[in-house]
Chains A and B, each alone.
Chain A
């Protein structure tokens, strides 16, 4: 392993520990400020994690082994995702393609969905059903958008996002379209507006959150951290695509640019969370279909190159 990749590994691991808390903290803080409230400190998510990690786990006696072990499975999947996607602006420690990325996400989704079914509650099953319904849009969109990028970059490997400044002469619109598609996927996956209200306490309207209602203590801590990690990876991925056009020479500038863009994206997410109205459940397919359409157009443009 070269020195760059060792440093990359260290930075990625370190960042994947810090960034989820930081990004979620900034997001919450910004949202509060935008709503003229003081809001929690930026480091509050970390304190929450530590508080939850110290607590005793309370379980309903209707839950089974899947529920108990799902946080480990899904967080492992997300941990691997964080290691195969070059989200931090540095080459990912493990070289993989978009297909592994998407199927790791699917593994986490399956673990969470089954855990929700294992709670024997109406809300759990409802959440799993809703999440499954959304995933049939998210997964193809993600695959298509990332494939378009892969064609544009000329390589199926995700690390190509970092390595090659664009030279294939494809349409300049591929990346922006893919970014738009992935942004919509990210909104669906990380429970953001206008798909899901991240601050709601109403179980009936929850999608992703409804699956986690029964968790407590360290397991809830893992699930919350996982949500942060998901946000981080998605925004990091989007940041890579955004700065792809700009030729950045050194890894340090690239890392700095990525981090800055991630913070900007989080602020943007906070603004969207504040000003948008949550869509009706039956209108969600329309929005997600937009994402699908963006990714299809991106594919078309990528396919037409050369």
Chain B
């Protein structure tokens, strides 16, 4: 039965990839999307089956690498992640055809669809890979196909540059992951994940290599650069898929190797994860707060979310190592739930940003504004997703954050070491800080883009997007409400999966009572207001214009909203406001006043660019050797010969 579904899925994939190639330009979009949705439903079925009972699929083929053929394992963890992939793929597939129609002139839809199908397939492959070789192959396919997708809009120069940055990041990621796998193979003499059980001092270096490789892919600090570079360049559905699901494959691998399979047990790795996670969350959110580009903003917020999830995994590991298995498990649930909730709200946010981008043809938030009036549906979905992003009860984001914070609190209560207790408390405070910052970000993002008055003609002309796009945006938003409300059920279910022997209740909040009270209280008040408004209709009057005309300039901007906090964290951004007064008497009667804010992506300017410069210089030096001068070649050859001779003589 499973095999039939799997074959069916593969067939739909192949078809979805072939249709756009064979069909005339831009004609196969809808068919391809429909096939992708069908395959996603199939993936969900498989996921359900895998959760129910795990099974292994081995492909016997002539093409083996290192003597190992492709093998796929389906268990509950794969099921959970496959479900996330399927949901996001459905939303994206619904959304993409109309979206790509807008990009008709800039992008090649054929390459887009083929790459999209390969990406989805490769992600499923990574999630289900049973051995390291399969994993690395799928990992590479995922990297290449997603890079192709980033290149979709390849006619723009910036896209090409950012695409290259992304490619470089994936190379580094693969390098570390592969290095770690080789190391593990050298220790265990096996490529099979289930066969790996490395502990003690032996585990440290492969663990660290693996963590680095995975956090590069996940977009953790200080390797987060590719995220804010790639997302603004990529089409919105690609961003949604990459940010919502693809970075989660790295999270999946972390959970798989460290938490579920216990393939590597290294205390160092867990602390590294926590520290990476904390810095990443903070770094991501403070840069989110400063961004003006819609998609870059969301990309940085992905950095933050990934940080929080990474941190949850790390703390879970620490708790487990301390012998507090219950708490460790609750944090593991937090990480799993976080993957789901982030995939849901981030897909909505990216798809909504894409809708704004194409209808308003603008992604500078300080040129948007008042879109809520023109795109009420998009705003409602964004608001829901934003509330989930801010972890407001009763949405999915809250469930994640509550599990994580409550887990930390329980850890502090249960642990016997003062240092661990203090560490857990500091973690709580740090996450609260990140939470507060992300809410400031969310108010800024929604407030500036969707509320207020339009700041440009483009924003004024924006209209709601088409029905399929709206459905695509709405699906994850609705699901994130559902996931939040069903958090008690879902967590209990996950607990049953993780530890079938002792399923424990982790969700200890009386959600039912709270939700009933919330709806009752809110409903009574809303009804009272409606009754008041009916009795005495709302009097809508023109806004007070201060005796003159009111303009779109008379409302806060993204830059201005961010200024107080940006100043507070100014040292990190090197934030600065420069004012220039010009004119014949600039001191007393300036004709022209211009303000400019400076902020710096510190990692790029302080670390990466100098590093690149050094590499460039080394490259230049090497290039001089190959300058084409016959004399230089002769000298080099002669010197090499001499050196070799000397070396041979010395060792003999």
Contacts and interface: CB of A to CB of B under 8 A. Distances in A.
A122 interface: yes
A99 B425 CA distance: 13
Interface stretch (B203-211, B307-315, B409-417, B604-612): B409-417
Contact of B510 (A57, A95, A144): A95
B555 interface: yes
A96 interface: yes
A55 to B, nearest CB: 8
A102 B394 CA distance: 13
A98 B428 CA distance: 11
B505 interface: no
Interface in A90-129: 94-100, 102-104, 106-107, 109-110, 113-114, 116-118, 120-122, 124-126, 128-129
Given A124-B555, A222-B525, 16 more contacts: A57-B533, A58-B538, A59-B538, A59-B540, A60-B544, A65-B372, A94-B513, A102-B432, A103-B402, A106-B391, A107-B387, A113-B447, A120-B555, A125-B447, A299-B429, A303-B412
Contacts of A104: 393
A56 B425 contact: no
Contacts of A231: none
A120 B436 CA distance: 23
A159 B542 CA distance: 49
A176 interface: no
B413 A106 contact: no
Nearest to A64: B372
Contact of A96 (B401, B509, B565): B509
Interface in B423-452: 425-426, 428-430, 432-433, 435-437, 439-440, 442-444, 446-448, 451-452
Nearest to A75: B525
Interface residues of A, number: 83
Contacts of A83: 517
A140 B432 contact: yes
B372 A72 contact: no
A154 interface: yes
Contact of A66 (B372, B416, B439, B517): B372
Interface stretch (B170-178, B556-564, B620-628): B556-564
Contacts of B526: 69, 72
B554 interface: yes
B425 A151 contact: yes
Contacts of A56: 536-539
Given A135-B440, A148-B425, A118 B451 contact: yes
A79 interface: yes
A110 B529 contact: no
Contacts of A57: 532-533, 536, 538-539
Contacts of B544: 60
A189 to B, nearest CB: 12
Interface in B516-537: 517-518, 521-522, 525-526, 528-529, 532-533, 536-537
A28 interface: no
B198 to A, nearest CB: 33
A115 to B, nearest CB: 9
Interface string B368-405: 00101100100000010001001111000010011001
A296 interface: yes
Contacts of A96: 509-510, 514
Nearest to B538: A57
A135 B439 contact: yes
Contacts of B453: 62, 120
28 contacts: A59-B538, A60-B544, A76-B521, A76-B522, A79-B517, A96-B509, A99-B409, A102-B432, A106-B435, A107-B387, A110-B387, A117-B556, A120-B451, A122-B555, A125-B561, A128-B447, A128-B556, A139-B435, A140-B433, A142-B432, A143-B429, A150-B413, A156-B406, A222-B525, A299-B426, A303-B412, A303-B419, A304-B418
Interface of A: 53, 55-62, 64-66, 68-69, 71-73, 75-76, 79-80, 83-84, 94-100, 102-104, 106-107, 109-110, 113-114, 116-118, 120-122, 124-126, 128-130, 132-133, 135-136, 138-140, 142-144, 147-148, 150-151, 154-156, 217-219, 222, 281, 285, 295-296, 299-300, 302-306
Given A57-B533, A59-B541, A121-B543, A132 B428 contact: no
A106 B521 contact: no
Contacts of B421: 151, 302-303
Interface string B495-523: 00000000000000110011001100110
A129 B541 contact: no
B541 A132 contact: no
Interface of B: 370, 372-373, 376, 383, 387, 390-393, 398, 401-402, 405-406, 409-410, 412-413, 416, 418-419, 421-422, 425-426, 428-430, 432-433, 435-437, 439-440, 442-444, 446-448, 451-453, 509-510, 513-514, 517-518, 521-522, 525-526, 528-529, 532-533, 536-544, 554-556, 560-565, 568
Contacts of A143: 405, 428-429, 432
Given A57-B539, A76-B525, A103 B392 contact: yes
B436 A135 contact: yes
Given A60-B544, A125-B452, A73 B522 contact: yes
A144 B432 contact: yes
Q: Output the residue of B451, B529, B537 with the most chain A CB within 10 A.
A: B451
A192 B531 CA distance: 34
Choose among B413, B418, B556 the residue with the greatest number of A CB atoms under 10 Å from its CB.
Answer: B556
Nearest to B289: A132
A303 B435 contact: no
B540 A94 contact: no
Given A72-B522, A154-B413, A136 B392 contact: no
Nearest to A115: B451
Contacts of B412: 147, 151, 303
B517 A218 contact: no
Contacts of A61: 540-543
A73 B387 CA distance: 12
B452 A117 contact: yes
Contacts of A142: 432
Contacts of B510: 94-96
Nearest to A139: B436
Contact of A76 (B401, B518, B528, B536): B518
B529 A219 contact: yes
A72 B412 CA distance: 36
A303 B452 contact: no
Contact of A296 (B372, B429, B555, B561): B429
A143 B447 CA distance: 26
A132 B435 contact: no
B370 to A, nearest CB: 8
A58 B564 contact: no
A295 B561 CA distance: 28
Nearest to A295: B429
Contacts of B402: 99-100, 103
A41 B52 CA distance: 67
Contact of A80 (B391, B518, B561): B518
B541 A58 contact: yes
B369 to A, nearest CB: 9
Among B428, B448, B544, the most chain A Cβ lie within 10 Å of the Cβ of B428
Contact of A136 (B436, B521, B554, B555): B436
A106 B453 CA distance: 26
Contacts of A97: 406, 409, 509
Contacts of A71: 525, 529
A21 B529 CA distance: 20
A137 to B, nearest CB: 8
A139 B522 CA distance: 24
A54 B422 CA distance: 52
Contacts of B518: 76, 80
B566 to A, nearest CB: 10
A140 B561 contact: no
A217 B537 CA distance: 11
Contacts of B432: 102, 139-140, 142-144
